[in-house]
Amino acid sequence: MEFLAAAIAVGLGALGAGLGNGMIVKSTVESIARQPEAANRLQTTMFIGVGIVEVIPLAATVIAFLIMFT
């Protein structure tokens, strides 16, 4: 049962991160299409946001290992 809980934790973490990254990139591309002169600033902000969102699956993996080995 612990392995199932761990798999669900990692799966939901990855799903959330994937959806979040998609929304961030979609919004950035739309913004660049509207204001091409702000592309550099928008891309920098996007990369910071994507990096922060990528913490979610890492945290889910740590939680999964804690569930499996405790």
Q: Mean pLDDT per segment of 10 residues, for the chain of length 70 residues?
A: 87 92 96 95 95 91 88
DSSP string, 7-38: HHHHHHHHHHHHHHHHHHHHHHHHHHHH-GGG
Report the pLDDT value the prediction gives residue 19, as an integer from 0 to 100.
Answer: 95
Report the pLDDT value the prediction gives residue 52, as an integer from 0 to 100.
Answer: 92
**pTM for this one?**
0.81
Report the pLDDT value the prediction gives residue 2, as an integer from 0 to 100.
Answer: 81
How far, CA to CA in Å, does 1 sit from each of 7, 38, 67, 68?
Answer: 10, 50, 10, 9
